[in-house]
Structure 1
Amino acid sequence: MADRRLTTAARVRYRLTPAWVKVVVIWALSRVVSTSLLLWFAARQPANAWTDAHPDYFSFAQLWDATWYHYVAVAGYPTELPLTDDGQVRENSWAFMPVYPFLVRALMLLTGLPWSFWSVVVSVAFSLAAALAFHRLMRIVGLQAGTALFSVALFCFAPLSPLLQVGYAEAMHLFLLIVALTLLVQRRYLALLPIVAVMALTRPSGLAFALFLGLHVMHRWWIRYRDPFPAHERIASVVATAFSAVMGFMWLIIAWSVTGSFTAYTDTELAWRAPYIGYSELVPFTPWIQSAGWWMTGPMGFIVLGLVVVAFFAFLFTPWAKRIGVDLRLWVASYGIYLLAVFFPQSSTFRLLMPMFPLVGALAQPRSRVYRVAILIVFIIGQWVWLYYCWWIDGRDWTPP
């Protein structure tokens, strides 16, 4: 009897606990798991180009692109593009947008504390903000309380969630994207403008968001007889679409104005795929086809690519996916089209898929405890696998995150 009373009291207390407290607890538990995994790998990390052997946490959080962000924070961007011996643009800091490193730089100047500290703290802070904002978004689109909380758990424990606490811009960008999607779902189109402006200069996203807004406007026009689309909302949504398109090209324009080369940004981005396929022009929708031939010989690569693309878009029409609403599915589809247009698939692909986070709302639909425990375990194992192959450095590493 006493045990039953204690169980009942615990259930009542849980139900009375504010949702935001539950989100914070989920987030905190996820950071304990991710931090433990990062420390486990750091303790086994040999000396490498970035750190000594067995680095501390803050040093281990500075591998790979974190170094480029650090360089941007302390040195800015080159006025002359660095070139290879044969005259091709080399990898350089123009590939990394300024909002995150400049914010960290400002905190460094205000406090005197180093990049290694503030780069991690900023990411961790934005990861918490993103978790809270994501829960609100899931509730706004209509998910029940338990499903929305489990969506947050999947978001926080996702295989690439260690990136939310290292010197990368991903946590900040995800937070801004969640806020932008929330404003869109609420039809607050003009309020989107400052968020889109900052977001588009944090990670490449302006063109994908412009495509999303364009599809959203067309969908609203199509269903205007059962979901009114008043004139002021039409104007505001078109303005937001055009503004996002302009912001999508803004970094290209800024790089052009500083370096004098119209293709400074695109040439810089293309330098990262040169080790795979050599230097070439950016031709939309060809990188994935090129990669299919590079990763697999014969027709198998093209068959696998076709199956992946068909399966991805088919999933958006499943009952699970439909429950997150048309708008979030349009975003996922738009971002998928954007990646198909410009990105060459390699080990960084997994990181580039992070903005498709609304799909965890679809994966959270089943209420089976066995399913939910199993998928969380799979996600945590996925963190270990990703850290092993893409973050931890063991000799000559060709799988950057």
Structure 2
Amino acid sequence: MAHHPLTRTARAGAAWRAWPVATHIAAIYVLARLATTAILLLVAASSPADSRFGADPTLADYVLGWDAQWYWTVAFAGYPSELPVGENGVAGENAWAFMPVYAHLANLAGFGSWGVGALIVSLVAGYVACLALHALLRRRIDESAATWAVVLFANAPLAALFQVGYAESLFLALLMCALLALSARRWGWLYLLIPLMGYTRPGVLAFALLLGLYGIHRRLRRRDDPLPAREVGHILALGALAVVVGFSWQVLAGIATGVPDAYLQTELAWRRGWIPDIDAFVPFEGWIRAAPFWASLWGLPEWVGSVLLGMLIAGAAAALFAPSVRRLGPEVRLWAASYLLYLLAVFFPQSSTFRLLVPLSPLWGAAPRSRWGRGIVLVLCLAGQWLWIAAMYGSGNTYWQVP
């Protein structure tokens, strides 16, 4: 009799291992989405009357909240031919900040209901992202570690993005597939994935930098990993494609509005909500100006902000050389380095910072390998979900509660 429980456990484990990988990932993903839905419902039940969504909001309110309204505008009204200009004479917030692929794909998927389509696209894209992440990591780490990376990814602090009207889920699916294609050297797929990424949300210029660094890496290691001329051609062509796609949206916005820097002015409209006296986009200026700004806002000397920024950059750089990260392979490490540099160049750190870090999700493969370590990280992820959803959706009524 004493062996029966162990036998049942062993049989359950054997049955689980017999399932296809796609089924494993589906089970993990569905459970994660149920957990997120439960958190959303609990937060909604306690939503105060003065929150952005009012008392007793529905899940549909959350799906269609915040940036989803901009994507809905893109799907049904398109982009303005004239930039909206405020009383201060500078461009205001408008739809040119939001790329078209997610907006129109949600419209197609919803068969007349954009909100339903947005939910479907986000949910399906999230599952595809999980599948591609597992396949990407499985090339470098064992099955258990790759599966746990998917568990943490699907339950990450910002996992609610998998079921609201944001383009992050679709971008993640395209990104994971692109990194997998690069790792497997399936160059043909990248000619399709790069434009799709570029017109889903900003970030494809970071992929261009990744391709440049990847080419240098392959060149330096050509004795151990030969680099034939055909692959050199693909790397150069794909890098050029990513650069062209990355800058093309600025060109399109300029042509459509008659304002050459319409896109940059549009992006700066959000930044001016934090620092009003910004006239033009200057690379890396966002973080440099944000350091003293946030320090003073927290009641600290401005120089402390600059010191903290330096420590943050040094810590991020050092993390990329940690053994657990090195184990993930050059594609993941070079992507993380490229995307972090891209954020430093173009972003102003504010309440959306955590959302902007989501494309670093392949680094979940570097999570702890012990049972206790994984369990603790999972609990922290779920707690992070609660905090983020409660702040950004349950309340969302102050300047730092914008997802």
How many Å separate the matches in 2 of 1:38 and 1:164? Answer: 12
How many Å separate the matches in 1 of 2:21 and 2:117? Answer: 29
How many Å separate the matches in 2 of 1:177 and 1:230? Answer: 25
How many Å separate the matches in 1 of 2:50 and 2:69? Answer: 13
Choose which of 333, 336, 343 in structure 2 pairs with 1:332.
336
Measured on the aligned residues, the alpha-carbon RMSD in Å equals 1.5
Q: CA deviation at 1:166?
A: 0.1
* Residues 1:293 and 2:289 aligned together: no
Where does 1:94-105 land on structure 2 (aligned, <5 Å)?
94-105=96-107
How many equivalent residue pairs?
A: 395
Task: Determine if contact 2:167/2:201 at 8 Å carries over to the other structure.
Answer: yes
Q: CA deviation at 1:52?
A: 4.7
Q: Secondary structure at the match of 1:252?
A: helix
Task: Tell me which moved more, 388-397 or 206-215.
Answer: 388-397
Task: Determine if contact 1:126/1:172 at 8 Å carries over to the other structure.
Answer: yes
Letter in 1 for 2:115: S
1:134-164 deviations in whole A, cap 9, x for unaligned? 1111112x21011110000011011001111
Q: Secondary structure at the match of 2:79?
A: coil
1:110-152 deviations in whole A, cap 9, x for unaligned? x23x222221121111111111111111112x21011110000
Letter in 2 for 1:131: C
Q: CA deviation at 1:190?
A: 3.5
Q: CA deviation at 1:2?
A: 2.2
Task: Determine if contact 1:200/1:206 at 8 Å carries over to the other structure.
Answer: yes
Where does 1:2-401 land on structure 2 (aligned, <5 Å)?
2-47=4-49, 51-108=53-110, 111-112=111-112, 114-140=113-139, 142-278=140-276, 279-296=278-295, 297-363=301-367, 366-393=368-395, 395-401=397-403
1:5-39 deviations in whole A, cap 9, x for unaligned? 22232232222222221111111111011111111
Task: Determine if contact 2:175/2:197 at 8 Å carries over to the other structure.
Answer: yes
Q: Secondary structure at the match of 1:131?
A: helix
How many Å separate the matches in 2 of 1:394 and 1:302? Answer: 28
1:39-76 deviations in whole A, cap 9, x for unaligned? 11222234568645312111222221111111111111
Q: Secondary structure at the match of 1:180?
A: helix
User: Structure 2, unaligned stretches of length 5 or more?
Assistant: 296-300
Q: CA deviation at 1:3?
A: 2.3
Letter in 1 for 2:152: L
1:273-323 deviations in whole A, cap 9, x for unaligned? 102111331111111010001000321101110111100010110110011
Alpha-carbon spacing, 1:394–1:69, altered in 2? closer, same or farther (3 Å): closer
Q: Secondary structure at the match of 1:358?
A: helix
Identical-residue share of aligned pairs (%):
42
How many Å separate the matches in 1 of 2:247 and 2:254? Answer: 11
How many Å separate the matches in 1 of 2:215 and 2:98? Answer: 31
How many Å separate the matches in 1 of 2:396 and 2:79? Answer: 31
Q: CA deviation at 1:395?
A: 4.1
Aligned counterpart, 2:298: none
1:211-245 deviations in whole A, cap 9, x for unaligned? 11000001111111111000111011100011101
How many Å separate the matches in 1 of 2:302 and 2:54? Answer: 42
Alpha-carbon spacing, 1:223–1:8, altered in 2? closer, same or farther (3 Å): same
Task: Determine if contact 1:206/1:249 at 8 Å carries over to the other structure.
Answer: no
Alpha-carbon spacing, 1:349–1:396, altered in 2? closer, same or farther (3 Å): closer
How many Å separate the matches in 1 of 2:378 and 2:174? Answer: 25
User: Structure 1, unaligned stretches of length 5 or more?
Assistant: none
Letter in 1 for 2:336: V
